[in-house]
């Protein structure tokens, strides 16, 4: 099992400059300055993982870790539950390419509980305040979030707004800006 994971992570590392391994089957890759079509590049990496390792993956690309994780969720959901998100997001979703209204549509279709870092308890509390979607969360007052919840949720909101950029942690950096998981995702922070 670990040999497969190592193989997958090695292939993913080839996407960009640095890689932060987030879990056994997920990582972030820094794609800053990488030229060319990142969706095409990601599709080739996905195909290589499937061919060489035999593991199907989904890839999410975004300007922040939170948006990369969300893009990965969208890529998996679009593939597994047709109709929830547009079909063209299946397997590889690049939220960084969307204009504001397109991104807002994706955020509006995403339950707030699907956002990275928003657990069930916080999701319920947000719901009491009529914050039910990721789009609703982007529109919440940051001072209120910080005061009522935490600086962590404030950072999540900023990342959903694409304000705070991807920062890879040093202790996990190997090669990084995409995100991959065994179900499998490659979120990408740019």
Residues in the chain, total? 190
Same domain, 13 and 88: yes
Nearest-5° Cα angle at 122, 178 to 172: 30
Asked whether residue 48 carries a pLDDT value surpassing 80, the answer given is: yes
Same domain, 94 and 175: yes
Domain hosting 133: range is: 111-160
Any domain includes 130: yes
Give the mean model confidence (pLDDT) for residues 164-185: 46
Task: List the structure tokens of 142.
Answer: 């940051």
Any domain includes 184: yes
Rounded distance, CA 55 to CA 171, Å?
Answer: 26
Q: What is the pLDDT of residue 157?
A: 94
Q: What is the pLDDT of residue 99?
A: 93
Q: What is the pLDDT of residue 135?
A: 97
Same domain, 41 and 84: yes
What's the pLDDT tens digit per position in 134-149?
Answer: 999 999 999 989 999 9
Same domain, 66 and 8: yes
Same domain, 115 and 143: yes
Task: List the structure tokens of 107.
Answer: 């955020």
Any domain includes 106: no
Rounded distance, CA 190 to CA 181, Å?
Answer: 18
Q: Which of 19-23, 90-94, 118-122, 179-183 has the lowest mean pLDDT?
A: 179-183
Counting the structural domains of the chain, the total is 2
Asked whether residue 72 carries a pLDDT value surpassing 70, the answer given is: yes
Same domain, 132 and 117: yes
- The CATH number of the domain where 122 resides is what? 1.10.150
- What rounded mean pLDDT belongs to the chain? 84
């Amino acid at each position: 099992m670990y040999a497969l994971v190592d193989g997958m992570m090695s292939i993913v590392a080839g996407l960009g400059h640095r890689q932060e391994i987030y879990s056994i089957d997920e990582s972030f890759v820094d794609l800053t300055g990488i030229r060319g079509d990142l969706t095409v590049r990601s599709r080739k990496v996905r195909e290589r993982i499937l061919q060489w390792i035999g593991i199907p993956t989904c890839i999410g690309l975004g300007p922040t870790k939170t948006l990369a994780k969300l893009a990965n969720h969208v890529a998996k959901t679009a593939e597994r539950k047709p109709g929830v998100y547009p079909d063209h997001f299946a397997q590889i979703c690049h939220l960084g390419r969307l204009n504001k209204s397109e991104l807002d549509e994706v955020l509006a279709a995403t339950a707030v509980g699907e956002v990275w870092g928003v657990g069930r308890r916080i999701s319920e509390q947000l719901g009491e305040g009529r914050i039910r979607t990721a789009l609703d969360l982007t529109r919440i007052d940051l001072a209120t979030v910080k005061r009522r919840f935490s600086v962590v949720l404030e950072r999540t909101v900023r990342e959903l707004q694409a304000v705070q950029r991807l920062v890879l942690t040093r202790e996990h950096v190997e090669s990084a800006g995409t995100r991959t998981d065994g179900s499998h995702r490659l979120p990408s922070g740019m």
